[in-house]
Amino acid sequence: MNLPQFIKTKETFNKLLELNQLCVLSIDAEERLLFANPAFYRLTSFSEEAAKGRKLRELLKIDDLSRSLFFDLLSDRKQAEFSLALEVEVAGKETQHLIASVCCPEQAHDRENGSIISLLPQSDLVEAEKELNTLRATYHALLDAAFDGVIVYDFISHENIYCNDKFVQLMGADDRAEIMNSNPLEFSPAFQPDGRSSKEVIDDHHRRLMVRGASIVEYTHMRKGGQLFLVQASATRLQPPNQSQILCVLRDITKQKATERDLKVQHSRYALITEHISDIILTSDANYSITYVSPSIQKSLGYSPVEMLGRQVKDLAHPDDVPVFEQILSKHPVRFRSEVRLLNASSKVVWFEAEIKLRYDEKGRLMESISVLRDISERKSVEAQKIEGELAYQLLAEHVHQGLASLDAEGRFQFVNAHFCRLLDSSKEQVIGTKWEDWVLYQKAERNRGSISKNAPTLEYRQSLLTKRGLIKVDVRLVGNFAPNGQLVRITALVNVIEHSSDEMPLIEKDNKSYSNQQQDELDFVATLKRRFPQLTDQDIMHCLLIRKGLSAREVALQTKIAIKSVEMARYRIRKKIDLNRSVRLSTLLRELN
């Protein structure tokens, strides 16, 4: 690289002026000094007053070999510019090697006005070149580490000056040499998506650069294998003297554009849902001011979405519900569900089911709340009618001269009328919540109750009930109520007393007028045994009664006409069912059960 090319670069020229080592002077047509910078006076040891007006031949002691050539070229003035190496004797110092650069006026008629000469020590030039190369290497390292592709090219000569590794990777090239030896249009399709040719787009881009100095454009490139991809090209025109060179930064935005398209599709779907969904979607800021409300609020509450923006959410709520919500929100929940009453445009109450989600920042401060409100007025109306129907049913049931009860699917009493309570000789509080099995002697009929189905919703059988007054025999009619999916929801039981009977428990004899203390004790024992050990069968209960009476296995075998071995096996099974320790006698446990 020669000196004229070197000093034309802005970086080098500024660097040399900063170092204050570049000598710049101007002479007239007679080679007399017109102007010189301080560096020149330091070089020649002349003062400004002594040097001004003197001829350059007198100021510079140039060696004989290059002296005549230098001044001949200077006097000839046929060359607009030239450079020459000189050996100059510096006053008080040794001979110094300088690089002289001469710039004459470009127009011939102006050359009589003189020339501009720059002198630079050759050693300083080398140092400046080294420093510039170091800076250039640093910039290249930074550009090579960039995440975006970078290329410098000349848009006049269509030559690539520099590119980083990311650019090579973007274009699918093998190495930088392949990029440097190629034309930019080789990595472009013939036409862009808008129908224009790639050359037309690039030329238009260059014209904008000439006017603005910088430009950003989206452009479709083509990789070496023919794959098209979209980039965002940020181009900057370099400063003179490299004004035909362009620094271009390419960022692959193919995935970004695909994501943006997906977001637009999702946004359109979201808008479609929110615009047509019957539920109200409402968002509010940290102060619970409404920031968005879906159009469905017009149909549900009679408000337009526009008039709701900026209003407080609590303005919609029934005054009695506001404290409840404030208490819930004071606990900083993330999500909760509740039923709330809202006031429509006519100040009438409308019931809604609210699903509310709250978003907080990293410091736990509320940022936004999102509410989905569903109108449940119709459901509330049905529930109210159902409650009214239940009340009417219960009122009617109290005047029926039959035992009437409602049980859930598990057989627990939910309602009993007064006549049923009189049959059991118990209060409603004592009956409701207990199971039907707690009030019967044998379980067989209860197992039959499980056979109720949607196809056979009724069941009739006879049953013995345990009451405080003794054992009563009743006719039971069960009617099942089923959900649309066939699941059993409720059972209605009608109970009619047949007679006080002892047929189902032959070991307990009773008088038609009253029970003895012993008989009442046996009834209490059976009830307690069934509650403590519901896993025992009717046969097990009979054996427990006989054991409690103190009968041996032989005596039981004679009375029931079964084998002794069978009696012993029955007693063994009872011990296993109630998980009785071997150290505890079964007869002792049964006597102490009450």
Order of strands across the sheet that contains 290-293:
290-293, 280-284, 366-375, 349-360, 335-343
Non-local CB neighbours of 84 within 8 Å, separated by 6+ positions: 66, 69, 70, 73, 99, 100, 102
> pLDDT value at position 506?
40
- Single-letter code of the amino acid located at 462: R
Question: What is the SS3 assignment for 461?
Answer: strand
Can you read off the two tokens belonging to residue 332?
Answer: 């900083």
With contact defined as beta carbons under 8 Å apart, do 183 and 158 qualify? yes
Beta-ladder partners of 343: 349
Q: CA-to-CA distance for 320 and 327, rounded, in angstroms?
A: 12
- Single-letter code of the amino acid located at 469: R
Question: What is the SS3 assignment for 412?
Answer: strand
Would the CA dihedral through 503, 506, 510, 516 be positive or negative?
A: negative
Q: CA-to-CA distance for 187 and 191, rounded, in angstroms?
A: 12
> pLDDT value at position 5?
44
Start-to-end C-alpha separation, the chain: 118
With contact defined as beta carbons under 8 Å apart, do 399 and 419 qualify? no
Q: CA-to-CA distance for 142 and 228, rounded, in angstroms?
A: 28
Secondary structure of 140-163 in HEC code, one letter for each residue: HHHHHCCCCEEEEEECCCCEEEEE
> pLDDT value at position 241?
59
- Single-letter code of the amino acid located at 579: D
Predicted TM-score of the model (pTM): 0.38
Q: What is the DSSP letter of 440?
A: B
Non-local CB neighbours of 442 within 8 Å, separated by 6+ positions: 463, 464, 504, 538
Question: What is the SS3 assignment for 376?
Answer: coil
> pLDDT value at position 284?
92
Question: What is the SS3 assignment for 363?
Answer: coil
pLDDT, one tens digit for every residue, the chain (594 residues): 344 444 444 455 555 555 556 788 888 877 788 888 888 887 777 888 888 888 877 777 777 667 777 777 777 655 567 777 777 776 555 677 777 778 776 544 444 556 788 777 776 666 767 777 887 788 878 878 888 899 888 877 778 888 888 898 888 888 888 888 888 788 889 898 888 998 888 888 888 888 888 888 889 888 888 889 999 988 888 876 566 788 889 999 988 888 888 888 887 777 766 666 788 889 999 999 999 888 888 888 999 888 989 999 888 889 998 998 888 888 889 999 988 999 998 889 999 999 999 999 988 899 999 999 998 888 888 777 777 666 666 666 676 778 888 888 888 888 888 888 888 888 888 888 888 877 876 555 455 666 778 787 888 888 777 776 667 888 888 888 888 788 888 888 888 888 654 444 443 334 434 445 666 677 778 778 877 888 888 788 888 888 888 888 888 888 877 888 888 888 888 888 888 888 888 888 888 876
Phi, psi of 132 (to 5 degrees): -65, -40
Q: For residue 60, how many other CB atoms are within 10 A of its CB? A: 22
**H or E stretch covering 355:** strand 349-360
Question: 179: closest CA among 143, 148, 150, 155?
Answer: 150
Q: CA-to-CA distance for 465 and 205, rounded, in angstroms?
A: 99
Secondary structure of 521-576 in HEC code, one letter for each residue: HHHHHHHHHHHHCCCCCHHHHHHHHHHHCCCCHHHHHHHHCCCHHHHHHHHHHHHH
Exposed e or buried b per residue across 488-525, where buried means at least 16 C-beta atoms within 10 angstroms of its C-beta = beebbbbbeeeeeeeeebeebebeeeebeeebbebbeb
